[in-house]
Chains A and B, each alone.
Chain A
Amino acid sequence: MSMGSKQSLVPVVAGLLLFGLLVVSGRWIGGEVPRMPGALRMLNLCGLWLTAWFLNARLAGSGSAAARYLVPAVFGLTLLLLWERAVGMFAISPVILPAPSVIFAQVMSSLPTLRADFVQTFVKGALSGYVIGSGAAIATAIVIDRSPFLQRGLLPVGNFVAALPIVGVAPIMVMWFGFDWQSKAAVVVVMVFFPVLVNMVAGLKATEPMQRDLMATYSASYWQTLVKLRLPAAMPFLFNGLKIATTLALIGAIVAEFFGSPIVGMGFRITAEIGRLGLPMIWAEIAVAALAGSAFYGAVALIEKRVTFWHPSQRS
């Protein structure tokens, strides 16, 4: 083991040195006025990519616990570095692709605007629609659970609707509920309703006959069985639907703003900046949307972990 790791350290150190050399020389090759022919710049970028990949492959092969987080982080940072370098070296116009540093500077300089857009689109539009939509879906699932006839009728319809391009209702909702966040929330309600409904109905069926019989021998009422047995058993399914719905909610809220909005909001900002070719601002909004989407998903996943701690997929 110790022999092996000593031998394998030499190429890693060499790779790190080469990587540093390429980074430094790339700075020199690039710069304000391109001083070197295109071939050399290309070579530098490819070299960066290959050495980073080699280091990553060594890291992945090492089998250490930290590699699970390090490898994707190195991969992501390398992509960012290549992006930054490529924009600088080939003098790509910021109208086409702004450099990550420019985007970061834009985020930092327009924090108040970004916060206002975030509140309008995410908190008012997406979040309220998400809560109403999934609440309605859960209630509907509990109601139709008592009728097999309704289940057989509603589930195929629900599955069908879940596959449709529902964002298309956005112009209708904007017409009905006006330009402000209410219409966005309405779109989100329609979008999240069916995925949550389908999953919740499946979840309510997830109890074993043996468990239900046990409740019957305790002479538990319908509501007692529901609260103490069937709702907890439905939680893994419900959270599956709720996690799918997080992305849908954000998409619905942003796309609905393309059809009309007050002069605030992420979707509005994107359309407005497109007209002025303000690409850094658009990328800044996208970065915020990406962060918000991941954080929203992560928050729901965290709640899932707390609620369904007993489930096999959450243990270990």
Chain B
Amino acid sequence: MRNLLPVLTVVLVIIAVWYLAAVRLNSAWVYDQAAREGREVMLVDLLGETLVQERPVLPAPHQVAQGLYDGVFGQKVTSKRSLVYHGWVTLSATLLGFVIGSAAGILLAVGIVYNRAMDMSVMPWAIASQTIPILAIAPMIIVVLNSLGVTGIVPKAIISAYLSFFPVVVGMVKGLRSPDAMQLDQLRTWNANGVQSFGKLRLPSSMPYLFASLKVGVAASLVGTIVGELPTGAVAGLGSRLLSGSYYGQTVQIWAALFAAAILAAGLVGLIGQAERMVLQRMGLAR
């Protein structure tokens, strides 16, 4: 709460700069129009005409808010112009992929922690894969799966699963290894078997690491889905809204889709943060 005032100030400054930039960037068009009609441009006209254009270079914040509101509430949910519809297309693929990817990641992490050969073979590749722009293969996966007859939600889900997979593996391995030798020895003196020491020590102590990597993973999943929507020729989803907006110069549509994606990402990360708080509180780790 004590950060509220500074954050609000920064946000207000950003909005003010945004308005100024909108006036500045859109003014060229206004001057052009005025010169053609042979009239002078007063400051009032400039302000009035730069902030309400149909296809501005930079839409003003209220135009984006208007576009967002129209997209969410102004249409029927099933309409092709509804952001709820497109958002749902993106969200469903993201969630499916994220669940598959993080489940597989957790399983692989358990394997890595308990099997030395697996650790030494897979772990360097898992870490190296984080330095590779995996997103570049997204269009290829989509097109190859399309040519195999797999369409719809599955190809996008595969990409988002792939993107959330590696952060979860790396984070979960770190988490499962976080108990120190003293704690592991303690369990040994209690004659705990492998399953018990996993369930009662390793798994609980991995939770903070798991949630941190789940947050990274879900953000990556969403980006993967959006990029996965680009090559199929703008059919449905927030990515296709971005692409069709950029084809037809509909800047307001691009910005509205961008903010819809941002809200979606913030919501997903927030949900995981909430789950994290609940789990950690239940385990007595949170303050």
Query: Are A72's CB and B125's CB within 8 A?
Result: yes
**Residue in B closest to A273 when the chains form the complex, CB atoms:** B140
Give the residues in chain B near A174, CB-CB below 8 Å.
246
- Looking at the assembled complex, report how far the CB atom of A193 sits from the nearest CB atom of chain B, in whole angstroms: 14
Stretch of A17-25, A101-109, A234-242, A290-298 with 4 or more beta carbons under 8 angstroms from chain B? A290-298
**When the two chains form their complex, are residues A71 and B120 in contact, meaning their CB atoms are under 8 A apart?**
yes
Beta-carbon contacts of A241-265 to B below 8 Å, as 1s and 0s?
A: 0000011001100110011100000
B169 partner residues in chain A, CB cutoff 8 A: none
Binds B, one of A27-35, A82-90, A160-168: A160-168
**CB-CB contacts below 8 Å: A58-109 with B:** 59-61, 67-68, 71-72, 74-76, 95-97
> Would you give the shortest CB distance from B147 to chain A, in whole angstroms?
6
Chain A neighbourhood of B122, CB < 8 A: 72, 75
Q: Which of B10, B131, B230, B266 has the most CB of A within 10 A?
A: B131
In the complex, are the beta carbons of B144 and A172 less than 8 A apart?
no
The answer to whether A180 has its CB under 8 Å from any CB of chain B is no
Q: Compute how far the CA of A284 lies from the CA of B137 in the bound complex, rounded to whole angstroms.
A: 11
Among B151-159, B179-187, B196-204, B248-256, the stretch that binds chain A is: B248-256
Q: Which residues of B contact A289 (CB under 8 A)?
A: 132-133, 136
Contact with A along B93-120 (1 / 0, CB 8 A): 0000000000000000000000011011
Task: Output the least CB separation between A24 and chain B (Å).
Answer: 24
User: Which of A71, A95, A96, A151 has the most C-beta atoms of chain B within 10 angstroms of its own C-beta?
Assistant: A71
**In the assembly, what is the distance between CA of A153 and CA of B11, in Å?**
8
A8-16, A131-139, A223-231, A274-282: which lies at the interface: A274-282
Is A56 within 8 A of B121, CB to CB?
Answer: yes
User: Is B38 at the interface (CB under 8 A from chain A)?
Assistant: no
User: Are the C-beta atoms of A163 and B269 separated by less than 8 Å?
Assistant: yes
Q: Is there contact, CB below 8 Å, between B136 and A274?
A: no
Expressed in whole angstroms, the minimum distance between the Cβ of A210 and any Cβ of chain B is 27
Instruction: Judge whether B226 and A282 touch: CB under 8 Å.
Output: no
Q: Does A169 contact B (CB under 8 A)?
A: yes
**A97 — which chain B residues lie within 8 A by C-beta?**
144
| A71 pairs with B121, CB closer than 8 A | yes
Set of chain A residues within 8 Å of B132, measured between Cβ atoms: 247, 289-290, 293-294
- B61 at the A/B interface (Cβ < 8 Å)? no
Query: Whole-angstrom distance from the CB of B244 to the nearest CB of chain A?
Result: 10
Residues of B in contact with A, size category: 35 or more
Bound-state CA distance A74–B246 (Å) is 46
Q: A163-B215, A274-B139 are in contact. Are A168 and B128 (CB under 8 A)?
A: no
Q: Is B51 at the interface (CB under 8 A from chain A)?
A: no
Q: A165-B223, A172-B254, A247-B130 are in contact. Are A259 and B246 (CB under 8 A)?
A: yes
User: What residues on B are CB-neighbors of A152 within 8 Å?
Assistant: 2-3, 6-7
B123, B144, B222, B257: residue with the most chain A Cβ atoms closer than 10 Å: B144
Which residue of B is nearest A176, CB measured? B57
Chain B nearest CB: distance from A54 CB in Å? 9
Asked if B227 is at the interface (CB within 8 A of a chain A CB), the reply is: yes
- Total interface residues on A, using CB and 8 Å? 64
CB of A142 within 8 Å of the partner chain: no
CB-CB under 8 A from A150, the residues of chain B are 6, 10
Contact A156–B7 (Cβ < 8 Å):
yes
Partner of B128, one of A259, A270, A294: A294
Contact of B265 among A151, A153, A163, A290 (CB under 8 A): A163
Which residues of chain B have C-beta atoms less than 8 A from A68's C-beta?
120
Compute how far the CA of A150 lies from the CA of B3 in the bound complex, rounded to whole angstroms. 10
Give the distance to chain B from A298, nearest Cβ to Cβ, in Å: 8
Contacts of B60 in A (CB 8 A): none
Interface 1/0 per residue, B208-230 and A, CB below 8 Å:
00000001000100110011001
Q: Flag if A153 contacts B143 (CB, 8 Å).
A: no
Q: Does B43 contact A (CB under 8 A)?
A: no
- Bound together, the chains give a CA A267 to CA B133 distance in angstroms of 11
Q: How far is the CA of A157 from the CA of B9 in the complex (A)?
A: 11
A172, B133: Cβ atoms closer than 8 Å:
no
* Distance of A121 Cα from B243 Cα, bound (Å): 20
Q: How far is the CA of A89 from the CA of B6 in the complex (A)?
A: 64
Taking CB atoms, residues of chain A closer than 8 Å to B135 are: 167, 251, 254-255
Which residues on A sit within 8 Å (CB–CB) of B261?
164-165, 168
Complex contact B116–A61 (CB within 8 A)? yes
CB contacts (< 8 Å) of A286 on chain B: these are 136-137, 140
A25 to B81, CA, bound (A): 59
Q: What are 29 A-B pairs with beta-carbon distances under 8 A?
A: A56-B120, A60-B117, A75-B121, A150-B6, A152-B2, A152-B3, A153-B5, A153-B10, A154-B6, A157-B14, A163-B219, A163-B269, A164-B261, A164-B265, A164-B266, A168-B257, A169-B258, A171-B245, A171-B254, A172-B254, A172-B258, A254-B136, A255-B227, A260-B246, A266-B136, A282-B137, A286-B137, A294-B131, A294-B132
**What would 9 more interface pairs be, CB under 8 Å, given A56-B117, A72-B120, A157-B7?**
A71-B121, A72-B123, A75-B125, A153-B8, A168-B261, A172-B254, A282-B140, A283-B140, A294-B132
Pick the 8 closest A-B CB pairs, nearest first: A153-B6, A171-B246, A75-B121, A153-B10, A297-B131, A57-B117, A71-B120, A152-B6
